[in-house]
Protein backbone atom coordinates (compact mmCIF):
# COMPACT_ATOMS: atom_id res chain seq x y z
CA UNK A 1 0.00 0.00 0.00
CA UNK A 2 1.36 3.39 -0.96
CA UNK A 3 1.47 6.10 1.67
CA UNK A 4 -1.07 8.89 1.07
CA UNK A 5 0.42 12.34 1.47
CA UNK A 6 -1.01 15.85 1.57
CA UNK A 7 1.74 18.47 1.41
CA UNK A 8 1.22 22.21 1.88
CA UNK A 9 3.77 24.35 0.04
CA UNK A 10 3.52 27.78 1.64
CA UNK A 11 6.05 29.29 -0.81
CA UNK A 12 7.22 32.82 0.13
CA UNK A 13 4.12 33.56 2.20
CA UNK A 14 3.37 34.15 5.91
CA UNK A 15 5.25 35.95 8.65
CA UNK A 16 6.11 34.14 11.87
CA UNK A 17 2.79 34.62 13.70
CA UNK A 18 0.80 33.65 10.60
CA UNK A 19 2.90 30.53 10.09
CA UNK A 20 2.44 29.24 13.63
CA UNK A 21 -1.28 30.16 13.64
CA UNK A 22 -1.79 28.30 10.38
CA UNK A 23 0.02 25.20 11.62
CA UNK A 24 -1.93 25.29 14.91
CA UNK A 25 -5.31 25.69 13.27
CA UNK A 26 -4.74 22.86 10.80
CA UNK A 27 -3.09 20.38 13.16
CA UNK A 28 -5.83 20.87 15.75
CA UNK A 29 -8.60 20.73 13.15
CA UNK A 30 -8.06 17.20 11.85
CA UNK A 31 -6.64 13.86 12.97
CA UNK A 32 -5.26 12.24 9.86
CA UNK A 33 -5.18 8.46 10.15
CA UNK A 34 -4.53 7.21 6.65
CA UNK A 35 -2.40 10.06 5.36
CA UNK A 36 0.69 12.02 6.30
CA UNK A 37 0.31 15.81 6.22
CA UNK A 38 3.53 17.70 5.51
CA UNK A 39 3.98 21.45 5.96
CA UNK A 40 6.58 23.27 3.88
CA UNK A 41 6.94 26.67 5.60
CA UNK A 42 9.57 29.28 4.69
CA UNK A 43 13.06 28.58 6.12
CA UNK A 44 12.97 31.06 9.05
CA UNK A 45 9.86 29.43 10.55
CA UNK A 46 10.79 25.76 10.26
CA UNK A 47 11.69 25.34 13.92
CA UNK A 48 8.63 27.22 15.17
CA UNK A 49 6.25 25.22 13.02
CA UNK A 50 7.97 21.99 14.01
CA UNK A 51 7.31 22.83 17.67
CA UNK A 52 3.62 23.46 16.93
CA UNK A 53 3.16 20.02 15.40
CA UNK A 54 5.48 18.15 17.80
CA UNK A 55 2.60 16.18 19.36
CA UNK A 56 0.32 15.97 16.35
CA UNK A 57 0.48 12.47 14.92
CA UNK A 58 0.82 12.08 11.16
CA UNK A 59 1.92 15.69 10.75
CA UNK A 60 5.41 16.30 9.46
CA UNK A 61 7.56 19.10 8.14
CA UNK A 62 10.06 19.85 5.42
CA UNK A 63 11.96 22.62 3.64
CA UNK A 64 11.03 24.11 0.27
CA UNK A 65 14.59 23.97 -0.99
CA UNK A 66 18.17 23.02 -0.11
CA UNK A 67 21.64 23.72 -1.45
CA UNK A 68 23.29 21.41 -3.95
CA UNK A 69 26.54 21.98 -2.00
CA UNK A 70 27.62 20.22 1.16
CA UNK A 71 28.71 23.39 2.96
CA UNK A 72 31.22 26.23 2.93
CA UNK A 73 31.43 29.67 1.33
CA UNK A 74 28.03 29.83 -0.36
CA UNK A 75 26.39 32.94 1.06
CA UNK A 76 22.67 32.62 1.62
CA UNK A 77 22.48 28.88 0.98
CA UNK A 78 20.98 26.27 3.32
CA UNK A 79 22.53 22.81 3.44
CA UNK A 80 20.89 19.44 3.91
CA UNK A 81 22.96 18.94 7.04
CA UNK A 82 21.54 22.14 8.56
CA UNK A 83 18.04 20.90 7.84
CA UNK A 84 18.52 17.51 9.47
CA UNK A 85 20.15 19.20 12.47
CA UNK A 86 16.76 20.86 13.14
CA UNK A 87 14.89 17.57 12.53
CA UNK A 88 13.48 18.25 9.10
CA UNK A 89 12.19 15.12 7.44
CA UNK A 90 11.35 16.18 3.89
CA UNK A 91 12.56 18.59 1.22
CA UNK A 92 11.13 19.78 -2.11
CA UNK A 93 13.51 19.32 -5.04
CA UNK A 94 12.91 20.72 -8.52
CA UNK A 95 9.73 22.70 -7.95
CA UNK A 96 8.89 24.42 -11.24
CA UNK A 97 9.42 27.85 -9.65
CA UNK A 98 12.99 26.82 -8.74
CA UNK A 99 13.55 25.44 -12.23
CA UNK A 100 12.12 28.52 -13.93
CA UNK A 101 13.19 31.50 -11.78
CA UNK A 102 16.44 30.11 -10.39
CA UNK A 103 17.60 28.14 -13.43
CA UNK A 104 17.78 24.79 -11.67
CA UNK A 105 18.45 22.11 -14.25
CA UNK A 106 18.93 18.35 -14.20
CA UNK A 107 22.53 18.40 -12.90
CA UNK A 108 21.82 20.67 -9.95
CA UNK A 109 18.67 18.72 -9.10
CA UNK A 110 20.63 15.47 -9.09
CA UNK A 111 23.18 17.05 -6.72
CA UNK A 112 20.36 18.27 -4.49
CA UNK A 113 18.87 14.78 -4.39
CA UNK A 114 22.25 13.39 -3.42
CA UNK A 115 22.61 15.93 -0.62
CA UNK A 116 19.16 14.91 0.62
CA UNK A 117 19.96 11.20 0.67
CA UNK A 118 23.39 11.66 2.27
CA UNK A 119 21.78 13.54 5.12
CA UNK A 120 18.69 11.42 5.60
CA UNK A 121 16.13 13.84 4.11
CA UNK A 122 13.28 12.44 2.02
CA UNK A 123 12.94 14.42 -1.20
CA UNK A 124 9.74 15.22 -3.04
CA UNK A 125 10.96 15.48 -6.64
CA UNK A 126 8.72 17.73 -8.75
CA UNK A 127 8.20 17.45 -12.49
CA UNK A 128 5.64 18.77 -14.96
CA UNK A 129 5.31 20.38 -18.37
CA UNK A 130 4.75 24.01 -19.37
CA UNK A 131 1.66 24.97 -21.36
CA UNK A 132 3.48 25.00 -24.71
CA UNK A 133 4.55 21.36 -24.33
CA UNK A 134 0.99 20.36 -23.38
CA UNK A 135 -0.56 22.26 -26.33
CA UNK A 136 1.87 20.76 -28.81
CA UNK A 137 1.23 17.25 -27.47
CA UNK A 138 4.83 16.84 -26.30
CA UNK A 139 4.03 16.58 -22.58
CA UNK A 140 4.55 12.83 -22.36
CA UNK A 141 8.04 13.08 -23.84
CA UNK A 142 8.86 16.17 -21.77
CA UNK A 143 7.92 14.72 -18.38
CA UNK A 144 9.40 11.34 -19.32
CA UNK A 145 12.71 13.08 -19.97
CA UNK A 146 12.58 14.98 -16.67
CA UNK A 147 12.27 11.60 -14.96
CA UNK A 148 14.90 9.81 -17.08
CA UNK A 149 17.47 12.61 -16.87
CA UNK A 150 17.52 12.74 -13.09
CA UNK A 151 15.79 9.83 -11.37
CA UNK A 152 17.43 7.18 -13.59
CA UNK A 153 20.75 8.20 -12.01
CA UNK A 154 19.58 7.14 -8.55
CA UNK A 155 20.22 3.78 -6.94
CA UNK A 156 17.11 1.63 -6.38
CA UNK A 157 17.41 2.32 -2.67
CA UNK A 158 17.48 6.09 -3.27
CA UNK A 159 14.50 5.98 -5.60
CA UNK A 160 12.68 3.96 -2.97
CA UNK A 161 12.94 6.86 -0.50
CA UNK A 162 11.83 9.46 -3.07
CA UNK A 163 8.33 10.86 -3.43
CA UNK A 164 7.34 12.31 -6.79
CA UNK A 165 5.03 15.25 -7.47
CA UNK A 166 3.55 15.75 -10.93
CA UNK A 167 2.76 19.44 -11.28
CA UNK A 168 1.79 20.69 -14.75
CA UNK A 169 3.07 24.27 -14.82
CA UNK A 170 -0.06 25.53 -16.59
CA UNK A 171 -2.09 24.43 -13.57
CA UNK A 172 0.08 25.97 -10.83
CA UNK A 173 -1.53 29.00 -9.23
CA UNK A 174 -3.80 29.46 -12.25
CA UNK A 175 -7.01 27.95 -10.96
CA UNK A 176 -6.95 25.72 -14.03
CA UNK A 177 -6.43 22.23 -12.68
CA UNK A 178 -5.66 19.11 -14.69
CA UNK A 179 -8.71 16.91 -15.08
CA UNK A 180 -8.68 13.71 -13.00
CA UNK A 181 -8.12 11.79 -16.26
CA UNK A 182 -5.16 13.97 -17.26
CA UNK A 183 -3.62 13.53 -13.81
CA UNK A 184 -4.12 9.76 -13.90
CA UNK A 185 -2.62 9.51 -17.39
CA UNK A 186 0.54 11.34 -16.35
CA UNK A 187 0.95 9.49 -13.05
CA UNK A 188 0.67 6.19 -14.86
CA UNK A 189 3.17 7.43 -17.44
CA UNK A 190 5.66 8.38 -14.69
CA UNK A 191 5.33 4.91 -13.20
CA UNK A 192 5.79 3.27 -16.61
CA UNK A 193 8.89 5.35 -17.33
CA UNK A 194 10.39 4.39 -13.95
CA UNK A 195 9.72 0.73 -14.77
CA UNK A 196 12.04 1.04 -17.79
CA UNK A 197 14.87 1.16 -15.27
CA UNK A 198 13.68 -0.03 -11.85
CA UNK A 199 11.95 -3.12 -10.44
CA UNK A 200 8.20 -2.81 -11.18
CA UNK A 201 7.29 -3.92 -7.67
CA UNK A 202 9.37 -1.16 -6.11
CA UNK A 203 8.01 1.43 -8.54
CA UNK A 204 4.48 0.44 -7.53
CA UNK A 205 5.31 1.38 -3.94
CA UNK A 206 6.35 4.96 -4.75
CA UNK A 207 3.91 7.75 -3.87
CA UNK A 208 3.15 10.18 -6.70
CA UNK A 209 1.39 13.40 -5.70
CA UNK A 210 -0.55 15.72 -7.96
CA UNK A 211 -0.03 19.49 -7.72
CA UNK A 212 -1.58 22.45 -9.53
CA UNK A 213 -4.64 24.33 -8.27
CA UNK A 214 -5.83 21.55 -5.97
CA UNK A 215 -8.73 22.92 -3.91
CA UNK A 216 -11.52 21.73 -1.65
CA UNK A 217 -13.82 21.27 -4.66
CA UNK A 218 -11.61 19.18 -6.92
CA UNK A 219 -9.50 17.25 -4.37
CA UNK A 220 -11.78 14.23 -4.08
CA UNK A 221 -12.01 13.55 -7.81
CA UNK A 222 -8.26 13.92 -8.34
CA UNK A 223 -7.26 11.88 -5.28
CA UNK A 224 -9.72 9.17 -6.32
CA UNK A 225 -7.54 8.26 -9.32
CA UNK A 226 -5.71 4.97 -9.06
CA UNK A 227 -2.17 6.33 -9.42
CA UNK A 228 -2.66 9.59 -7.51
CA UNK A 229 -1.39 9.20 -3.95
CA UNK A 230 -2.11 12.68 -2.64
CA UNK A 231 -1.40 16.29 -3.38
CA UNK A 232 1.17 19.07 -3.25
CA UNK A 233 -0.98 22.09 -2.52
CA UNK A 234 0.07 25.74 -2.85
CA UNK A 235 -2.55 28.50 -2.57
CA UNK A 236 -5.20 26.40 -0.80
CA UNK A 237 -2.71 25.25 1.85
CA UNK A 238 -2.68 28.82 3.24
CA UNK A 239 -6.43 28.74 3.91
CA UNK A 240 -7.32 26.76 7.02
CA UNK A 241 -10.77 25.51 6.01
CA UNK A 242 -9.77 24.72 2.44
CA UNK A 243 -6.72 22.75 3.50
CA UNK A 244 -8.70 20.89 6.17
CA UNK A 245 -11.26 19.92 3.51
CA UNK A 246 -8.47 18.72 1.21
CA UNK A 247 -7.03 16.54 4.00
CA UNK A 248 -10.51 15.20 4.78
CA UNK A 249 -11.04 14.38 1.10
CA UNK A 250 -7.87 12.26 1.14
CA UNK A 251 -8.90 10.59 4.41
CA UNK A 252 -12.32 9.69 2.99
CA UNK A 253 -10.74 7.57 0.26
CA UNK A 254 -10.31 3.95 1.32
Catalytic residue among 104, 129, 167, 251: 167
* Shortest CB 130 distance to ligand PGA, Å: 13
Is 89 labeled as catalytic in the residue annotation?
no
Q: Footprint of ligand PGA on this chain (CB under 6 A)?
A: 9, 167, 172-173, 211-214, 232-236
Q: How far is CA 136 from CA 132, 141, 142, in A?
A: 6, 11, 11
* Shortest CB 176 distance to ligand PGA, Å: 9
Instruction: Report the residue number whose CB is nearest to ligand PGA.
Output: 234
Alpha-carbon dihedral angle through residues 108, 123, 224, 54, given to the nearest 10 degrees: -140
Catalytic residue among 95, 104, 129, 133: 95
Nearer to ligand PGA among residue 41 and residue 211 (C-beta): 211
Q: How far is CA 168 from CA 105, 110, 132, 230, in A?
A: 17, 20, 11, 15
Is-contact 46 61, C-beta < 8 A? yes
Nearer to ligand PGA among residue 94 and residue 198 (C-beta): 94
* Shortest CB 13 distance to ligand PGA, Å: 10
Nearer to ligand PGA among residue 83 and residue 232 (C-beta): 232
Q: Which of 36, 48, 33, 150 is nearest to 99 (CA)?
A: 150
Q: How far is CA 249 from CA 40, 102, 111, 147, in A?
A: 20, 34, 35, 28
Residues 244, 6: Cα–Cα separation, whole Å: 10
Is 167 labeled as catalytic in the residue annotation?
yes
Nearer to ligand PGA among residue 30 and residue 219 (C-beta): 219
Residues 155, 160: Cα–Cα separation, whole Å: 9
* Shortest CB 78 distance to ligand PGA, Å: 19
Residue numbers annotated as active site: 95, 167
Amino acid sequence: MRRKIIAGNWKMNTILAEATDLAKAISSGVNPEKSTVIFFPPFPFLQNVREVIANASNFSIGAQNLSSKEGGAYTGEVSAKMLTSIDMEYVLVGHSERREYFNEGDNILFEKLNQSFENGLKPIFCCGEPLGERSSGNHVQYVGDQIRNVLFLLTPQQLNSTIIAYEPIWAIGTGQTASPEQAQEMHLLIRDVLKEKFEPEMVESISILYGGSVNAGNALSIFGQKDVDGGLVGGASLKVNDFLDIIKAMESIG
